[in-house]
Amino acid sequence: MVYALGAQASLILQSGADPTLRKSALKCSCSTARYSSPICFKFQPFNSNGYQEKSWISFSNQDFKSVSTRKWLCSKVIHMSVQQVGKKKVAVEPLDLEDDKQPPLHLYKPKEPYTATIISVERIVGSNAPGETCHIVIDHGGNVPYWEGQSYGIIPPGINPKKPDSPHNVRLYSIASTRYGDSFDGLTASLCVRRAVHYDPETGKEDPLKKGVCSNFLCDANPGDLVKLTGPSGKVMLLPEEDPAAAHIMIATGTGVAPFRAYLRRMFMESVPTFQFRGLAWLFLGVANTDSLLYDDEFSKYLRDYPDNFRYHKALSREEKNRSGGKMYVQDKIEEYSDEIFKLLDGGAHIYFCGLKGMMPGIQQTLKRVAERRGDLWDEKLARLKKNKQWHVEVY
Q: What is the pLDDT of residues 364-390, one digit of tens each?
A: 999 999 999 999 999 999 999 999 999
The rounded percent of the chain whose pLDDT value lies above 90 is: 70
Give catalytic residue positions: 173-174, 354, 394, 396
pLDDT above 60 (res 56): no
Show the CA angle centred on residue 277, arms to residues 271 and 279, nearest 5°: 160
What pLDDT is stored for residue 34 in this prediction? 36
Q: In whole angstroms, what is the distance from residue 46 CA to residue 41 CA?
A: 15
Q: In whole angstroms, what is the distance from residue 105 CA to residue 285 CA?
A: 28
What pLDDT is stored for residue 209 in this prediction? 67
Cis omega (within 30 of 0) for bond into 273: no
Q: Is the CB of residue 29 less than 8 Å from the CB of residue 23?
A: no
Q: Is the CB of residue 247 less than 8 Å from the CB of residue 280?
A: yes
Known binding-site residues equal 174, 194, 255, 317-318, 327, 355-356, 394
Average of per-residue pLDDT values in the chain: 82
Q: Is the CB of residue 363 less than 8 Å from the CB of residue 252?
A: no
Structural domains in the chain, CATH included, are 2-78 (no CATH), 96-233 (2.40.30.10), 247-395 (3.40.50.80)
Query: In terms of DSSP bridges, do strands 9-15 and 2-6 run parallel, antiparallel, or are they unpaired?
Result: antiparallel
Known binding-site residues for NADP(+) equal 174, 194, 255, 317-318, 327, 355-356, 394
pLDDT band of 47, cuts 50, 70, 90:
very low
pLDDT band of 65, cuts 50, 70, 90:
very low
Sequence-ordered list of residues with C-beta below 8 angstroms from that of 231, at least 6 positions apart, any chain: 105, 106, 107, 108, 144, 146, 150, 151, 152, 153, 172
